[in-house]
Structure formats: structure tokens, C-alpha cells
Amino acid sequence: MGLEQVLLLLIADGPQHRGHSLALTQLQMALLDEPDRLDSLTQALARWEGPISAADEATLVGGASQPAPTAASQVSLGEMIEALNRVSEGATPFLGKIIVANTWKQSRPAHPWLAQFDIQKDGHLAMVPPSAEPLTAEQEQWIRDWVVAFVERGGRTIRNFRGLVSDHVSPQDRALLFG
């Protein structure tokens, strides 16, 4: 079973809810980056009888078990913005500053909290005033969704864009922004 058939099966059989499209995009990106996960996906789909368990999701998307999200994290908004700006800096050699800025704007999910981010002409992000308060798990997820959409949109222009950007950020930033 090829990637296209797996995705068509998920689209046809999966529930249509708010995160469905994003989940399929994340899955497609993960499979394109690591085709050997297709076997794991095929095996999980063969035994699937309902919602995917946390263990199956970790196998399919992350390759390892991940802790469940908590109500609040230890990451401040300022730290998150710094990590986002490192993604911008990693993308700039491939897209240029103006296209990076436009890609952030075009990929921003329609959520009022994310609308507070100022996207500067050089592709950097800011929020005034920056807060030292820890982000909630929900806010972190909104930002991760934005990063996934940014990488997906950049991937329309540059092949393996996710890999190229990931190579320019630290492992801590990858864990923070890509889950």
C-alpha cells in the first residue's frame, strides 16, 4: 500500500473534525521525511477499530512514546518567540526574508490569540508586550499548528523544506516546535 492509498483511506474513513486536515498533513510530512514508517502505519491501520490510541499515535508520528500534554508548560512566550525566530532564520536562506514573512502570514491559523503576533518584514515574529508567563498547553499547540502549516506551505516551494529548516534549529527547538 503506497502513501497515496494510505492517505486516501484515512480521508475516506476518518472522522471529519477540526484537527483532521492538520493531522493528515503532519502524517504525510512524517512519512515523506521517513518512508520506513509506512510499514508501522500500515500495521496500525490493519488493527484500527476506532480512535487511534496514544501509543499508536506515538508510533506513527513520533516514533516513541510522548508525555501527555499538561495544563501549563514551563515555556514562556519569549522563549517560544525566540524558537520561532530561529525557524525563520533557518528558512531565510531558502526562501528569502520577504517570502518567509509572507509564509508566516499566509499559514497563520485563524485564531485570535495568534493574531497578536507581529510578523516583521524580515520574517521575525514579535508580540508586544512579551510575557514571561508560561504558555498553556493549548497555546503551545496553536503555535505548533502554525509551525506545521508554515513548513507545509514552504514545502510547496522547496522540496524537503521541513528537513532543511530542522537542520538549522537546535534539538530543543525541534522538540518544542515540532512536538
pTM of the entire predicted model: 0.60
> Which residue carries 516514533 as its cell?
63
Same domain? For 84 and 30 the reply is: no
**pLDDT in the model for residue 126:** 94
pLDDT of amino acid 62: 46
Do 80 and 152 belong to one domain? yes
Same domain, 87 and 170: yes
Verify that 17 and 105 share a domain, yes or no: no
Range(s) of the domain holding residue 33: 3-62
Among 17, 32, 62, which residue terminates a domain?
A: 62
Q: Which long-range contacts (CB under 8 A, 24 or more apart) does 167-174 make?
A: 167/90, 168/86, 168/87, 168/89, 168/90, 168/91, 169/83, 169/86, 169/87, 169/90, 170/86, 172/83, 173/83, 173/86, 173/87
Note the pLDDT of residue 133.
82
> Is residue 141 classed exposed, middle or buried when 0-12, 13-18 and 19+ CB atoms within 10 A define those classes?
middle
pLDDT computed for residue 64 by the predictor: 38
Number of domains present in the structure of the chain: 2
* The domain boundary residue, chosen from 62, 89, 112: 62
Identify the pLDDT of residue 178. Answer: 86
* pLDDT tens for the chain, residues 1 to 179: 555 555 544 555 444 444 445 455 555 655 555 555 555 555 555 544 444 444 444 444 444 333 344 445 689 999 999 999 999 999 999 999 999 999 999 999 999 999 999 999 999 999 877 777 899 999 999 999 999 999 999 999 899 999 999 888 999 999 999 87
